Amino acid sequence: MKTALPRFPRTLFVALLLLALAAFAPPKLKKVQVAKNLTVGLPADFQPLPDDAIASKYPAVRKPLAVYSNPAGRIDYSIAARQTTFSSKDYGLLLKIYESKLKSTYSKVDVITRDIKTINKRDFMVLEFVSTLADNRRGREMMAPLRRYELMQYAIEGDQQYVFHFICPVEEQAQYQPVAQAIMQSVELK
């Protein structure tokens, strides 16, 4: 005696197919003008951090041009500019220097991408990695290592070096890695 398998409803199949295709669609980004010569696409829910929040989250002598964060404040995208004597001809050397600096800054760095990519007719240095910062303090209760997914992109224009930095907790890497890559692909530097 044969038993018939239940038929899969056509509308359910179409809905699942659309959902699967949407998962692979690039994220929708809104274009934001950061400076006169610089625009970038960002998720609609990313908001600029006010100066006082930037100062507390990124304490440095040179303030970034801009920092954008998701509503929960766990994911950041920052853009900084600083003077440099290097040129785009030095990208190969600079990539090695930056990777070495990362490895000395963090307890562990798992490099995903280390490359020079052309984006919107401009070359960028790209470092994509997972960083681990272990608590090495003595005499205190040890905290769990801090692990983050980071995507950094660098470009030199004239005497200015631009640094684009996306950072999120490693637990959210699967969700935000495609977003980070789309943001970096949207950078237009004139």
Please give the domain boundaries of the chain with CATH numbers for all domains: 27-189 (3.40.1000.10)
DSSP label at residue 157: E
Strand-pair category, 122-133 with 76-83: unpaired
φ/ψ of residue 133, rounded to 5: -120, 110
Write the single-letter amino acid at 71: P
Per-residue pLDDT reduced to its tens digit, 33-43: 999 999 999 99
Positive or negative CA dihedral for 11, 17, 22, 23?
positive
Per-residue pLDDT reduced to its tens digit, 45-63: 999 998 888 888 888 888 8
pLDDT tier, 1 (very low <50, low <70, confident <90, very high otherwise):
low
- Residue 44 in contact with residue 30, Cβ under 8 Å? yes
- The span from the CA of 144 to the CA of 180, in Å, is 25
Predicted confidence at residue 17, as pLDDT, reads: 45
pTM: 0.83
Which tokens in the block code for residue 14?
A: 């179409």
- Residue 29 in contact with residue 186, Cβ under 8 Å? yes
Residue 169 has pLDDT above 50, yes or no: yes
Closest Cα partner for 32 from 24, 18, 16, 44? Answer: 44
Contacting residues for 41 by C-beta, under 8 A, at least 6 apart: 29, 30, 31, 32, 182, 183, 186
Closest Cα partner for 134 from 115, 106, 159? Answer: 106
> What CA–CA distances, in Å, run from 11 to 8, 18, 19, 22?
9, 11, 12, 16
Per-residue pLDDT reduced to its tens digit, 91-102: 999 999 999 999
Per-residue pLDDT reduced to its tens digit, 68-99: 999 999 999 999 999 999 999 999 999 999 99
Give the residue with greater pLDDT, 142 vs 13: 142
Q: Which residues pair with 38 in a beta bridge?
A: 35, 189
CB neighbourhood size of 12 (10 A): 9
- Residue 43 in contact with residue 32, Cβ under 8 Å? no
